[in-house]
A and B are shown apart, each in its own frame.
Chain A
């Protein structure tokens, strides 16, 4: 079967898909796409950005060195987030860490829970989509949109930025118009063709 993952929530075809290791290009593309969110994610557990970076890099290196096989984008993301979580928890249990900070048992239990994992994945994935989408807008427009989803009213935004109410309205309109196709495309963000064998 010819398989090009759409990152679709429908899994029915995934079962048939063969697993393959990544090409260097795909590997680099995933690094570019996921390095920042994964660092943020690890930092949620260990609250130390530099160590978070080391953890994420180690996870990426392991994928390559061990030639780990994947089916599709979700499959890779799931692997990466889970590995980063495990490594982050491991770090919290090292001597090195425990000498510095003390983590209560309750806190560790909370960090190890599925709920914490799910919640943080959603927060980070969502915020990265929003941030990347807004970054494609012109500055003025981007600032207004940022303020608007902090639940500021148009008048409040106008006052905050020292511009007229009409400017806020027009810029908002422009912003939404430009964001709309981007949001549709987002579903097709990374489409990967994972090879097929003869069938």
Chain B
């Protein structure tokens, strides 16, 4: 069934549209179905009688009881220890509460424990706020900070929209260190999530009638920009020393780390234009532009946006990244240095999800279990992969 995964993907897109009270455009454009079938699908999903019929059936299905029936009919692996299954360690999945499934890491540990000296902490919500007078305030969970213009509960920071607009534009900086993440709401209502090792410069209030400008000095940020229409038509510009992005009410992710030659801009919703030295590329939803800052050229392609932006929802998703690239992401969140003793392992590819709240040891243990690395060692903040 070559198209089966397309059916599953399309189902998610239709569900997403309907739940957002939007037209299921992806179904309308789909080549998988005739017009007649499309109409039938919509009718089955939205018509009262069909919904009720389905709910009545669902209520007659008792998964728990029937699982017991099935379980009693199968031979459980306890009786046959030498089953072919290679101890499957499964990482962690953060899911909807209705069917939260969490797998424990494999506990077959007759293996010698790796050397670990020094504890590596999981990253937390933290940031440093630099005020207009140059003074710094540390924002951390449990600490609140309050002035006339801004309020923070230590997990996020919110700028007051009603504060009088002075003619002089005053800027604040929010710096998120390694091992941190933070979110903020600008005075125009735009929401920004900042990933580890990132810095954003922004005005306390925006001038009426002018483009709203912020600067992602370095790092990764996700923007949910309030519509220009709600803001007297003023556009929103995210600049960086290497690239500009002009937007008109939208959601997108920008990744511009200092130690990476590429800048990644991923559009989730709306419309943005990325530009460098007069070269401009328009992005559509689900597209990503990659700016190679050495050649100053853009490449635009389609991506799975959920993978690109999962970091802000508490997970890292990887779709075919190498272990080296993944370790770079992890090093920012856990504030660690990573050393590969065996260079060949650097290019092992991963597809998967890591929950951001697990300990680095758990992740390393899994990788070790899969024999990608022989062993690992943790000395202070350095992880050595052998």
> Which residues of A are at the interface with B, using a C-beta cutoff of 8 A?
1-13, 20-26, 28-29, 31-33, 35-36, 39-40, 43, 49, 53, 57, 60-61, 64-65, 67, 74, 77-78, 81-82, 115, 118-119, 121-123, 125-127, 129-136, 145-146, 148-151, 172, 176, 179-199
Contact = CB atoms under 8 A, between A and B. Distances in A.
A95 B26 CA distance: 42
A173 B37 CA distance: 32
A77 B8 contact: yes
Interface in B298-343: 304, 306-307, 309-310, 313, 315, 317, 319-320, 323
Contacts of A67: 84
Nearest to A175: B19
Nearest to A179: B19
B278 interface: no
Given A150-B51, A172-B21, 20 more contacts: A2-B352, A6-B304, A6-B317, A9-B6, A10-B319, A21-B83, A23-B77, A40-B54, A126-B12, A127-B45, A127-B51, A131-B58, A132-B98, A150-B48, A176-B20, A181-B313, A183-B19, A184-B310, A185-B94, A189-B93
Nearest to B309: A184
Nearest 7 A/B pairs, CB to CB: A4-B352, A125-B11, A129-B15, A78-B4, A9-B9, A195-B86, A187-B306
Contacts of B86: 20, 195, 197
A183 B14 CA distance: 11
Contacts of B32: 118
B15 A195 contact: no
A61 B95 CA distance: 26
B76 to A, nearest CB: 7
Interface stretch (B66-74, B134-142, B182-190, B203-211): B66-74
A3 B77 CA distance: 24
A130 B41 CA distance: 14
A122 B46 contact: no
A84 B32 CA distance: 21
Contacts of A115: 33-34, 37
Interface in B17-54: 18-21, 27, 32-34, 37, 40-41, 44-48, 51, 54
Interface string B87-131: 111110111111101010000000000000000000000000000
B6 A121 contact: no
B90 A148 contact: no
Contact of A2 (B69, B70, B372): B372
Contacts of B84: 21, 67
Contacts of B70: 31, 57, 60-61
A133 B5 contact: no
Contact of A192 (B18, B33, B90): B90
B74 A12 contact: no
B279 interface: no
A74 B66 CA distance: 23
Contacts of A23: 77, 85, 88
Contacts of B11: 121-122, 125-126, 129
Contacts of A74: 4-5, 8
A98 B14 CA distance: 37
B45 A126 contact: yes
B7 A125 contact: yes
Contacts of A8: 304, 307, 319, 351
B10 interface: yes
A182 B55 CA distance: 21
A20 B15 CA distance: 30
A118 B7 contact: yes
B1 A78 contact: yes
Contact of A122 (B10, B60, B313, B352): B10
Given A2-B349, A8-B319, A123-B44, A35 B85 contact: no
A81 B5 CA distance: 12
6 contacts: A25-B103, A31-B63, A118-B33, A176-B21, A185-B313, A193-B89
A199 B348 contact: yes
B351 A11 contact: no
Nearest to B87: A195
Given A77-B4, A121-B7, A149-B19, A187 B97 contact: no
B352 A193 contact: yes
Give the residue among A3, A118, A181 with the most B Cβ atoms within 10 A.
A118
B19 to A, nearest CB: 5
Contacts of A7: 8
Contact of B19 (A28, A35, A130): A130
Contacts of B370: 2, 195-196
